[in-house]
A = this chain, B = another copy of it.
């Protein structure tokens, strides 16, 4: 997170007294989550995660995010469960900011990705899509093609400070994607940010998915495209086909992708690569001094984009050369 909100202990005690979760015994800021302030909250009853929503999250989106987590946990999907106050309300206010308490999910995010992680990730993504299918609230993807155009405009004048010709590369890719972006794919609620640090494993079994603050309605297969970018490249940005195959196979085992979805993967992957390239570029160019989290390198996604631009057939994501 950019900046931590200091929560005074008396304000915290007052806040927690609105819940039926015992008395606070400890509250420590944790170094996770880029958009919000997160705290490990211990009470006499259990451990929880307290989240204060900082300004990058739109207040009007919060009922969707918390409603989604409620919905998913009701379907036994391993998402954090929003804790409701004695009055039934989950979204409250603390230190002048929207705040919520969720259950604590055990597990650690994998620092060394294996194909087995990717298979379980694919299964979890499909389960998430099925579990969320009857959710009533909706949210547009603010980081879809229209959002990319905004970010491209906001970074254009300084993109070349990061790499020569980067602004031109972005402009051309955006034009291509605007023309080619599919609108005939099955849609639904997707997580849209299932990066390794948002997926926990316990004893190598997927134990939880966190951070639903980019969740939105979009093409379901776009989730796979985000995951392929986030999980299936090594440190030198080389594609790891065994990971990609495991991811797609895992997804297919729960919710089989249709032909139109599979065929769209290369272009969806280009879009996902551009999306993370643009947000990282924006963050690098607008990084506040003294911020908590070191901005991530946008060039990782230039390399991924370049890989996807060379993909002719979706088979290249999962099949050995024929």
Contacts and interface: CB of A to CB of B under 8 A. Distances in A.
A150 to B, nearest CB: 25
B291 A12 contact: no
A55 to B, nearest CB: 17
Contact of A12 (B6, B10, B26, B108): B108
Contact of A9 (B12, B106, B111): B111
A186 B40 CA distance: 41
A294 interface: yes
A30 B27 contact: no
Interface in A164-198: none
Contact of A294 (B23, B27, B40, B290): B290
- Is the contact region of chain A dominated by helix, strand, or loop, or is it mixed? loop
Contacts of A42: 47, 106
Contact of A40 (B9, B10, B40, B112): B40
A296 B295 CA distance: 22
Interface residues of A, number: 41
The oligomer's copy count stands at: 2
A6 B111 contact: yes
A189 to B, nearest CB: 27
Given A28-B30, A42-B47, 9 more contacts: A7-B111, A9-B110, A10-B112, A24-B108, A27-B108, A28-B32, A30-B30, A30-B40, A31-B292
Contact of A29 (B31, B105, B112): B31
A202 B26 CA distance: 8
A4 B30 CA distance: 12
A107 interface: yes
A59 interface: no
A287 interface: yes
A29 B30 contact: yes
